[in-house]
Amino acid sequence: MKKTYLFFIALCFMMPFVGAQETIDDLLKRYNKNNIPYISVQELAMPKTNAIVLDAREQDEFNVSHLKNAIYVGYDTFKLSTVEKQIPNKDEAIVVYCTLGVRSEVIANKLKKAGYTNVKNLFGGIIEWKNNSFDVYNTKNATTDSVHVCSPFWGKWLKKGKKVYPKTND
């Protein structure tokens, strides 16, 4: 495992002891630099929004559920060269999402530094998407209520749907 993934897992399990934020906005202000513009779930769901959607979570999270037609790019496994092959037009509208919007900002910044000009971060990630009753899909392309939430700290933000936590090797 890469150090960043281990750090993220440690952060997931340590957060309940650090203190709680009152809103998703507070959480994102605390962990993000806010140098990537947000797009709301309502705006992304509008038919006229024609953006390529990138999932910046890990494969096991993506397998549980993801936004329709999202392209898995990962976080620890992210490779800019793969995205550049899939999206050669650097002016293309791109929305990056993760669980709540922290990891997706990191990936969006990598895209921005590589010259992509129209990149946004989905505010509240897949949790906010599901909380607003928008559909998520499993690996069979069927709708599901399940959302991988990483830990009870992150899971507390999911108000609609079934919380799925990482599998342990007990």
User: CA 47, CA 4: separation in Å to the nearest integer?
Assistant: 36
Each residue of 44-76: b (16+ CB within 10 Å) or e? beeeeeebbbbbbbbeebbebbbbeebbbbbbe
- Classify residue 115 by its DSSP letter: T
- Write out the two tokens for 149: 């939430």
Name residue, tokens 């999911």.
Answer: 158
Spatial contact of 123 and 28, defined as CB atoms under 8 Å apart: yes
Distance of CA 106 to the CA centre of its chain: 10
User: CA 103, CA 106: separation in Å to the nearest integer?
Assistant: 5
Verify whether residue 12 is a known catalytic residue.
Answer: no
Candidate list 98, 147, 158, 164, residue with the active-site label: 98
- Classify residue 124 by its DSSP letter: T
Residues catalogued as catalytic:
98
